[in-house]
Amino acid sequence: MTVTDASALVDRLVAVVPDFPKPGILFRDVTPLFSDSDAFAQVTAALSEPFDGAFAAVAGIEARGFALAGGIAIEQGVGVLTVRKAGKLPGEVLSESYSLEYGEATLELRPAQLPAGTAVLVVDDVLATGGTAEATVTLLERAGYEVVGVAVLLELEGLGGRDRLASRLPVHALATAPA
Ligand code: AMP
């Protein structure tokens, strides 16, 4: 499996849905890729490939990142950390808020699930402005982990996501597309 093959799968199986969830947004629907067992296995392998051997846990961002993290975790023999939307985790949580186009969002993580210094790879389906991934990296670092990189299926161009993250850590995208 080469990155080119994985990119072709992302291009072929990620559907483009105009005006969802609101007018003007081109939504990238990864569910056709997730439901194709061969494609899912190949894409999750290619997603983590540049970091394989360098991480001991994979952090998935709610919700589509959870599926990707699960696939990588089984293949690489590592654990999963779930980075959740506000209000879903019981007990003590670390919270990180960030700006959206309109308003704010908050992500949460349970602290102390793995030893401080554990190397963690962050995964999600789509990188747009990078706010979600940046808040996730900040949360994981606040929890004491060492974040080795961010891996996404699809990077939307022209929204600044890569620039926002690149000074902090490597960003791996299987495919790119206009926003
Ligand atoms: P951002 O924080 O702007 O990088 O947005 C990334 C997060 O929002 C990811 O968790 C994506 O699942 C979701 N997202 C942003 N834009 C899109 C899009 N056009 N299609 C699908 N998901 C998107």
Would you kindly state where each structural domain of the chain is located, as residue ranges? 3-178
C-alpha dihedral over 157, 16, 43, 38, to 10 degrees?
A: -170
pLDDT digits (tens, 9 = 90+) for 110-158: 999 999 999 999 999 999 999 999 999 999 999 999 999 999 999 999 9
The number of the ligand 1 atom at minimal distance from the alpha carbon of 64 is 12
Q: Classify residue 172 by its DSSP letter.
A: E
Please work out whether the CB of residue 26 comes within 6 Å of at least one atom of ligand 1: yes
Note the pLDDT tens digit of each residue in 27-81.
Answer: 999 999 999 999 999 999 999 999 999 999 999 999 999 999 999 999 999 999 9
**CA of residue 161 to ligand 1 center, whole Å:** 10
Q: CB of 128 closer than 6 A to ligand 1?
A: yes
Q: Which fold has domain 3-178?
A: Rossmann fold (3.40.50)
Q: Is 8 helix (H, G, I), strand (E, B) or coil?
A: helix
Q: CB of 176 closer than 6 A to ligand 1?
A: no
Do you know the residue count of the chain?
A: 179
Q: What is the DSSP letter of 130?
A: S
DSSP per position, 135-157: HHHHHHHHTT-EEEEEEEEEEEE
